[in-house]
Chains A and B, each alone.
Chain A
Amino acid sequence: MTVTEDRPAAATGEIGRDRRRKEDQRLITGRTRWTDNIQLTGMLHMAMVRSPFAHAKIVSIDTSAAKAATNVVDVYTGADLGESQGVLINAWPITPDQKTPVHLPMPADRVAFAGEIVAAVVARTAAEARDAAELVDVEYEELPAALDMKEALRDEVLAHPDLGSNKSALWVFDSAEAGTGGNVDDAIAAARTDGVVVEREFRQNRLIPAFMEPRSTVVDPTGEQNVMYSATQVPHILRFALAATTGVPESKIRVVAPDVGGGFGGKLQVTPEEWLTWCIARRLGKPLKYTETRSESLMAAHHGRDQWQKLTMAADKDGTLTGFKIELTADLGAYVAVVGGGVPVLGAFMFNAIYKIPAYHFACQTVLTNKTWVDAYRGAGRPEATFGVERMMDELAHELGMDPMEVRRKNWIRHDEFPYTTVSGLEYDTGNYEAATEEAMASFGYDELRAEQQRRRESGDRVQLGIGISTFTEMCGLAPSRVLGSLDYGAGGWENASIRMLATGSVEVTTGASAHGQGHETAFSQIVADRLGVPFESVEILHGDTQVASKGLDTYGSRSLTVGGEALVKAADKVIEKAKPVAAHLLEANVDDIEFEAGTFSVRGTDQGISIADVAGAVFVAHNLPEGMEPSIDADATYDPVNFSFPHGTHLCAAEVDTETGAIKLRKYTCVDDIGNVINPLIVAGQVHGGLVQGIAQALFEDAVFDDAGTLVSASFVDYLVPTAADMISFDVHHRSTPSLTNTLGTKGVGEAGTIASTPAVVNAIVDAVRHFGVNDIVMPCTPERVWRAINGSGAGGADPTTGDAMPHFDAEGEQA
């Protein structure tokens, strides 16, 4: 320990630096701990047998040939495992009377979607398990399947006959009842005579999260703690759910999310595959691994979106909004997933978006079908809402003959009106829609592009140009626990962090947020380095292991930074407070005279100081501490947010439509996102770019299509079109920083912004390009064929459902030897 006489030069601020991500080398090269890389002594491997039918009775399962195959250890069916397999939970029953089918990991009697597991084969190698799985002989008796969600509402064919209805729950928010606004039906009636009413029905296509790393689970039951390694976003929730449903005490369960390769919501599930690996490994007393194939992932990991949105917007003739009524039908698929019912309900708070709407009504009917289950996908409820309202604002503008930005400007909350309580009851703390929009329009060249659009239209150019707007906001940082409680969500929304000041000067930080590609290790290191004034390199972020970071609620809903980051700040502040008396003691000064800046405690008005690392060293040896002080300056903090954060932004898209073929070419994409204070601009840019591509992909490319038998047709990446860099343009990305008032760092979430905002911007642009052909909607994904049909007036505005088969490039037909 040394007491320095000279004050060290102030450390350069870490926050706001565009540091390269420290985790990238190991993640990108793959020299890391992906779950499938884990090899344990004596580990066995598992393969699944899955139902090819959407709905069928399991008549019999003959496992004898599989059991007799080389190196097969055992084969299990639902009947073999019975109750020991536990049950999968729905953590968010949206109404008290929600119909929730029992979800067994492996049912014994009936399958409810194509891809559901009916048998599990365990062998010494993964290849032998796969080979033997082919030998399991299942006899099914096909049952009629409920596939189309609108037809399913009629309850003629039941997804789960024992439930008596496909209608799972109806969730309603009404501003007149809640006292947050007027009666929407009155507003609509009034507008029918004196104003304008726009009515549209939009489709939210079904999407597949398509994370890069397929899901994988390894269970090691050989110690006192049973360990589950899983490619999950939610190790803590997973541990809780395992304890709650399998009867194993929580203290005997350790869940590890090693490096996880993407999730986008797709890995916030608690899955049949995890439950079966857990159950069977424990039964065998041996480590067991299950890794899914890409085909299994596409068919059986949860899907996203999938709604019909019936929207009615009322306004005065000058464009002032008077009411907005939202009636959603949301497909849950075969089971109510962990937050499956809640995701569309989040839209209730977002359909009003950035606008002052006097009367508002939101109703969401969730429906069970015999398709893959549906749950959160990047944005979760907010993209759906943003799409609906932003498409409607364009439709309203057209109806009134106004510029679509003018209609928005007329109705949005002005920056001097914050804080603002919306018609759905949220309090927006800050925002500056005017400034973001002004910057976006200038950078985009809005007026020039409008002029070009006009020229092309007048000359009847083969290539027409359209401009699409999306002025969005979102609620980030899930979530204040009290709010979640009021929505009957099964958990809280706090986050935990702890900081351990090691003797040799490094700082070990644990966080309950569970990174799966976002760059937490870098951004969180910057926050701690900044707060404690220690070098960035000295900070180590530990996460994703319930024995290391024992408390946490994981990563989703753009919460890691705004909630988890705030917990870090609070823990760091506690460390500083604990260290202060030690510093005072060592500097022989009064605590009240100690100041802390840039990593150094100093005595006010003197040049005496001591670094926090040196204080940590002194505490480690504990030779000379203040009387009665516990020899530790480590601290932890659990932070429960008081409110959401509300990032917002203006996204502008210009798209060219080849009217001969319907082909779409993005011409320019500008976004100005106000995401509060930025910790690392490089990570923010990455999040925005990736988010934009995913949102654009919903508009143009991605679609989970089922055939009439309920089989997923887009079941490989040949047919489920995930775009690459080759399909995109360079984005014109800007950000503004109006600090959030709800957390110390002034940050807002950015993980989902691009996805939420971009989809309507793109579709608005396409519709704008071809509106003069009488088109007012094109169903997503806006394929060239749909655009072409819309232009040519066939297929109801391009609303034809996608039908037909997958492309047969790898058909066995050509390969019969």
Chain B
Amino acid sequence: MIPAQFEYAAPTSLEEALALLAEHGDEAKVIAGGQSLLPVLRMRLNAPEHVIDIGRIEGLRGIREDGDAIVIGATTTHATVLTDPLVAEHAALLTKAVHHLADAQIRHRGTFGGALAHADPAGDMGAPALALGAEFVIAEQGGGTRTVGADDFFVDLFETAIGEDELLTEVRIPKHTGWGAHYEKFVRVAHQWPIVAVAATLKAEGGTITEARVGLTNMGSTPLRARAVEQSLTGQPATEDAVRAACEAAAEGTNPPSDLNGDADYRRHLATVLSRRAVLAAAAG
């Protein structure tokens, strides 16, 4: 299908992009990889008058190390994240999760920042980012930036802390070097968004879990942390029984949707099963 007409701009600097956003206000829309925005435009669910392509801004792309964090530029593609050695070493949970995101074609177009800014609660990047305690760097009008913690970034369904005239520039992920990680995604067909998914990463010493982070995908209007599970796991042996007991609480405080792929009660049940599997797999490697 054909989108409605729009003016297309491809600025090459952040300043230029911000200026365009300021100029066009709510008549403008940012496009990164276009893997979520283009379907919306083509199905004519939205018809912005201006589309601002941030793909040509050099500084927004790439992955680097910065002290005790790794920094992922907003327009870095999923495919780059998937194969990046820094990510594999210090944020293995992301590598595991992005492996399951859509298919190779979409991973080569879609961007890490775009996925997070889109804030689809069924998106595969939110829960890992949340579990890893990511920090989101947002460029504001007037040249300033601010950093928002993961807990404050996801506001609601398709809504984040990024203001209308702002841009997400990069995401800082505290290093989780040596942490085990696993992303357990439950789908009916491979190219689907998760019905429910669980992102688990943990540190274990001598068979005992010393720290654990568990993020839930598609269990509410934003990605969620399964804090009760995290707390119960701490200090527990990484055994089937202990983990099972801890994961009984996985759906606590969640508010999952009911849709074609499953009712809320089924999703709550899945959350407990998948959490256990994710945690055990993370503990195993």
Residues of A at the B interface (CB closer than 8 Å) are 126-127, 130-131, 134, 293-295, 660-661, 663, 700-701, 705, 713-714, 716, 718-719, 721-724, 726-727, 783-785, 788-789, 802-817
Q: Are A131 and B118 in contact (CB under 8 A)?
A: no
Given contacts A701-B189, A783-B261, A788-B266, contact A815 B1 (CB under 8 A): no
A716 to B42, CA, bound (A): 12
Interface residues of B in 30-49 (CB under 8 A from A): 36-37, 39-40, 43-46, 48
A713 to B273, CA, bound (A): 29
Given contacts A810-B36, A810-B43, contact A815 B266 (CB under 8 A): no
Contacts of B1 in A (CB 8 A): 130, 293-295
Return B120 CB to nearest CB of chain A, in Å: 5
Interface residues of B in 173-210 (CB under 8 A from A): 186, 188-193, 195
Interface segment among B21-29, B56-64, B138-146, B231-239: the answer is B21-29
Contacts of B44 in A (CB 8 A): 134
* Most B C-beta atoms less than 10 A away, residue of A130, A705, A714: A130
Return B40 CB to nearest CB of chain A, in Å: 5
A809 to B192, CA, bound (A): 11
Write 7 A-B pairs (CB below 8 A) sorted by A numbering.
A131-B4, A718-B193, A724-B189, A727-B189, A783-B188, A806-B259, A816-B26
Contacts of A718 in B (CB 8 A): 192-193
* Nearest 10 A/B pairs, CB to CB: A814-B158, A726-B190, A812-B45, A293-B1, A815-B46, A810-B39, A804-B259, A817-B48, A815-B40, A785-B262
Contacts of A661 in B (CB 8 A): 186, 270, 273-274
Return B249 CB to nearest CB of chain A, in Å: 17
Q: Mark B1-34, 1 if CB is under 8 A from A, else 0.
A: 1101100000000000000000000111100000
A185 to B89, CA, bound (A): 72
Q: Are A784 and B188 in contact (CB under 8 A)?
A: yes
A660 to B269, CA, bound (A): 9
A726 to B103, CA, bound (A): 10
Q: Are A804 and B186 in contact (CB under 8 A)?
A: no
Contacts of B118 in A (CB 8 A): 814
Q: Are B259 and A805 in contact (CB under 8 A)?
A: yes
Q: Are B189 and A723 in contact (CB under 8 A)?
A: yes
Q: Are B260 and A802 in contact (CB under 8 A)?
A: yes
* Most B C-beta atoms less than 10 A away, residue of A294, A716, A784: A784
Return A749 CB to nearest CB of chain B, in Å: 29
Q: Are B159 and A809 in contact (CB under 8 A)?
A: no
In-complex Cβ contact of A804 among B45, B103, B190, B258 (8 A): B258
Given contacts A804-B260, A805-B260, A814-B158, contact A726 B46 (CB under 8 A): no
Contacts of A815 in B (CB 8 A): 29, 37, 40, 45-46, 158
Tally of A-B Cβ pairs under 8 angstroms: 114
Q: Are A785 and B2 in contact (CB under 8 A)?
A: no
In-complex Cβ contact of B43 among A134, A295, A713 (8 A): A295
B157 within 8 A of A: yes
Return A420 CB to nearest CB of chain B, in Å: 41
Return A36 CB to nearest CB of chain B, in Å: 13
Contacts of A716 in B (CB 8 A): 43
A421 to B266, CA, bound (A): 50
In-complex Cβ contact of A814 among B4, B119, B260 (8 A): B119
Residue in chain B with minimal CB distance to A462? B273
B122 within 8 A of A: yes
Return B258 CB to nearest CB of chain A, in Å: 5
Q: Are A814 and B263 in contact (CB under 8 A)?
A: no
Q: Are A126 and B260 in contact (CB under 8 A)?
A: no
- Given contact pairs A726-B103, A783-B261, enumerate 8 new A-B contacts (beta carbons under 8 Å): A134-B4, A784-B195, A807-B122, A810-B39, A811-B40, A814-B120, A815-B40, A817-B46
A803 to B266, CA, bound (A): 13
A134 to B188, CA, bound (A): 35
Residue in chain A with minimal CB distance to B44? A134
Q: Are A724 and B190 in contact (CB under 8 A)?
A: yes
Contacts of A803 in B (CB 8 A): 258
Return B184 CB to nearest CB of chain A, in Å: 10
In-complex Cβ contact of B36 among A131, A701, A809 (8 A): A809
In-complex Cβ contact of B158 among A660, A714, A813 (8 A): A813
A784 to B186, CA, bound (A): 10
In-complex Cβ contact of B193 among A807, A811, A814, A817 (8 A): A807
A131 to B4, CA, bound (A): 6
Return A715 CB to nearest CB of chain B, in Å: 10
Contacts of A788 in B (CB 8 A): 266, 269
Residue in chain A with minimal CB distance to B164? A817
Q: Are B29 and A817 in contact (CB under 8 A)?
A: yes
Return B166 CB to nearest CB of chain A, in Å: 13
A123 to B212, CA, bound (A): 60
Contacts of A809 in B (CB 8 A): 36, 39, 120, 122, 193
Q: Are B188 and A814 in contact (CB under 8 A)?
A: no
Contacts of B191 in A (CB 8 A): 724, 726
A602 to B273, CA, bound (A): 77
Contacts of A783 in B (CB 8 A): 188, 261-262
